[in-house]
Structure 1
Amino acid sequence: MQFLKNISLKEYLTMQVDVQARKAVKVLSEADIEQLWKVYRHELQQALVIGGGSNLVITASPDQLVLLMEIQGIEVVHKEKKVLLQVAAGVTWQHFVEYCLNNNYGGVENLISIPGKVGAAPMQNIGAYGVEVKDTIQRVKVFDLTTGGFDWITNEDCHFGYRESIFKNVAKDKYIIVAVEFLLTTSDHTIKVSYGDVQKMLFERNIHEPRIQDVAAVVAAIRASKLPDPKELPNCGSFFKNPIVGVEVFTKLHARYPEIPHYSVDTEWVKIPAGWLIEKAGWKGLRKGKVGVHEKQALVIVNYDGADGNEILNFSKEIMKDIKQKFGIELEREVNFV
């Protein structure tokens, strides 16, 4: 492990908010966590854990210990018709997806180009283009901050939901995620290209029987055309969850806005793209001071000029209030504020 004092966390956060950490530790192995628990048990229980920092905005310099997760490694646990991989929490998500593509392991190709690290994937139940990471996760390895030992949590016990898991709510401060097990296909892959943009680009590229590598290339191209690179324009990707509303609420909205895009969840619930609501309300491309909504993607809030966490928080509150007033829908942030 590596101890750091009074460092800026700007480079560890994709929104690039410049806050100072009084004490930080780069965690390089599972043994590091065990050692920290033995010596700094109380501080570890209160620690702020940062992986890729792609879904986090910090509003003030943290006084607590900051853990920078850097544990590396991808291990093939078992391989026959399917392959079971154990992937360390500090592996970048992009590296993991590219590893799978290079080895022809299918299941995560639609999730290419999502920023962050593997450890955050189950926490958020990340998803894109018809796929959620819960579909491939077998178990999550955690360090239990109560007992000081490691444990495995099954997919079922993670209670995955739409951008949700126990790690975001009931077990938020109980565990540190150290590794994730994925079960992926080695052949006869299930190709998921239901999204119109994906189908359209595959057709334009004259690809009629796409491989997982083709799907990944198309998804990467679509994301690059719509989403700003955090290294060039600081952002956290999708800032809000797509709201799910009752059929009665949707019916009234549809009467007012016949063009509203929507996706049926079941007979009682309908999902509406948050980006459409934000754009329809006039926020797309709008900038206030140092913060704004991206000109190409209304779901993305960007930090144009060194905004602090509170400026970003207040800007998001304005959007949420406006959407509530205009559509009667309460948006929920996908991004975590600390």
Structure 2
Amino acid sequence: MERGDVEVSSRSFAELTTLQVGGSPALVLSCRSAESVADVVRTLDAEGVPLLIVGGGSNLVVGDDVSDLVAVVLEDGGEPEIEEKTGLVRAFAGLVWDGVVAATVDAGLGGLECLSGIPGSVGATPVQNVGAYGAEVSQTLHRVQLFDRASGETSWVMPESLDLAYRYSNLKFTSRAVVTAVEFQLTTDGQSAPLRFGELARRLGVTAGEAGQDGDVRRPVAEVRDMVLELRRGKGMVLDPHDHDTWSAGSFFTNPVVDRAVADDVQRIVASTRGEQDAAAMPRFPAGPADAVDSLEKLSAAWLIERAGFSRGWHVPGNDRAGLSSKHTLALTNRGSATSADIVALARAVRDGVREAFGVALVPEPVWIGVTLDDE
């Protein structure tokens, strides 16, 4: 395993993740090509060495005792391959995601602009079907290159084989394959994807009647990207090493998908505790086939957290090393000296508070390594 595009170093997960918590692995191997990733993983697997694939580290909560692991880090290197005439974009999994989005916008291609500012690397986007502001990666995925750890082979697969759903693919929480490259099929007319997200649409001057599930209102990609970045910065969702509100794993809990009856129960609880007006404004959106007998609805995790009594900046009493962002209650943040235990304590408090208030279980979005949210 001697390659010029593999670098050996010693770093802690506090240096490798956006939450900036976690102990030191046995070794850090940084790879800058799909071929080097495959070679490194193949070699470590053959030797039975436990490993963790790390991209931008924006979706990891890592414990302090991880010295048995080797961190295989997909480092940023090179530029995405962009075919401006066809809209086809190919990117190595280690490339910084927002850099790829910026390059597609500069090329006048549409489809990724609503996903601007999301931290992390390209390889993570299909794994968890990254989404924001009414768009998901699944809407533009063309192919995904996977290194299959069982066969030791690398091949391109179609999105249909990944069981893509809300913040999910069949790659998530498994170790069966490693994403080494991704292809996206974008539009070439310089216009964004249809605007589906109310807050973004309003800020861009799109009326409520124009936007929505059936609307196809679009705007120039650069205009949409600029507004998305402005919105994300306002919520502390664009990484800034000098701003502790951004020392997070992004949106920590997924928006819960529940039966309609459960959503009705939540709304009744809010009406009785906070008033009819607040209950009437509760975000709830269809999350399954409209003709289903037991219709599913998606609720807002941030809205539930706030109605359960958690405010921006809240922290576990007596422990201010970790706290909710002062800008956005869905982000759990390291205030500068937090450990993984501090993040876990904060996450448990918020999860348990929402469950006690509404009977709804919040599910964390990050991947947990060497630590668990389950009560000990």
Same fold (TM over 0.5): yes
Which residue number corresponds to residue 337 of structure 1? 368
1:50: Cα distance to partner? 0.6
Which residue number corresponds to residue 64 of structure 1? 69
CA deviations on 1:227-286 (whole Å, 9 max, x unpaired) are 254422111110000001111111222233323221122430111100001111121221
Amino acid at match of 2:227: V
Which residue number corresponds to residue 278 of structure 1? 305
Contact 1:125 1:133 in 2 (8 A): yes
Greater strand content:
1
1:287 correspondence with 2:315: yes
Q: CA RMSD for the aligned pairs?
A: 2.1
Which residue number corresponds to residue 220 of structure 1? 229
| Pairing of 1:141-220 with structure 2 (within 5 A) | 141-169=145-173, 172-187=174-189, 189=191, 191-203=193-205, 210-220=219-229
CA deviations on 1:118-149 (whole Å, 9 max, x unpaired) are 00000110001110000000111011111222
Local SS of the residue matching 1:277:
helix
Alpha-carbon distance in 2 for matches of 1:336, 1:38:
22
CA deviations on 1:156-193 (whole Å, 9 max, x unpaired) are 00110110001114xx2111110001000111745432
Would the alpha carbon gap of residues 324 and 25 (structure 1) be closer, same or farther in structure 2, given more than 3 Å must change?
same
Which residue number corresponds to residue 262 of structure 1? 284
Local SS of the residue matching 1:7:
coil
Alpha-carbon distance in 2 for matches of 1:54, 1:319:
20
Which residue number corresponds to residue 346 of structure 2? 315
* Bigger Cα displacement from structure 2, 312-321 vs 173-182: 312-321
Alpha-carbon distance in 2 for matches of 1:159, 1:30:
23
CA deviations on 1:192-229 (whole Å, 9 max, x unpaired) are 3232222222229xxx9731111111111111111254
Amino acid at match of 2:296: W
Contact 1:71 1:178 in 2 (8 A): no
Would the alpha carbon gap of residues 41 and 249 (structure 1) be closer, same or farther in structure 2, given more than 3 Å must change?
closer
* Bigger Cα displacement from structure 2, 241-250 vs 256-265: 256-265
Q: What is the TM-score when the length of structure 1 is the normalising length?
A: 0.91
Match of 1:126 among 108, 112, 130: 130
Amino acid at match of 1:221: E
CA deviations on 1:274-332 (whole Å, 9 max, x unpaired) are 00011111212212311111122110001113211122122211211111111010000
| Structure 1 unpaired stretches of 5+ | none
1:248 correspondence with 2:252: no
* Bigger Cα displacement from structure 2, 6-15 vs 91-100: 6-15
Alpha-carbon distance in 2 for matches of 1:35, 1:296:
42
Would the alpha carbon gap of residues 248 and 85 (structure 1) be closer, same or farther in structure 2, given more than 3 Å must change?
same
Which residue number corresponds to residue 90 of structure 1? 94
Aligned residues: 331
Alpha-carbon distance in 2 for matches of 1:331, 1:60:
24
1:37: Cα distance to partner? 4.8
CA deviations on 1:44-73 (whole Å, 9 max, x unpaired) are 773101100001010124212110102634
Which residue number corresponds to residue 81 of structure 2? 75
Would the alpha carbon gap of residues 314 and 291 (structure 1) be closer, same or farther in structure 2, given more than 3 Å must change?
same
Would the alpha carbon gap of residues 2 and 44 (structure 1) be closer, same or farther in structure 2, given more than 3 Å must change?
farther
Amino acid at match of 1:216: R
Percent identity between matched residues is 29
Alpha-carbon distance in 1 for matches of 2:49, 2:98:
29
1:11: Cα distance to partner? 2.4
Which residue number corresponds to residue 374 of structure 2? none
1:299 correspondence with 2:301: no
Amino acid at match of 2:315: R
1:18: Cα distance to partner? 4.4
Would the alpha carbon gap of residues 167 and 34 (structure 1) be closer, same or farther in structure 2, given more than 3 Å must change?
closer
Amino acid at match of 2:70: L
Would the alpha carbon gap of residues 39 and 219 (structure 1) be closer, same or farther in structure 2, given more than 3 Å must change?
closer
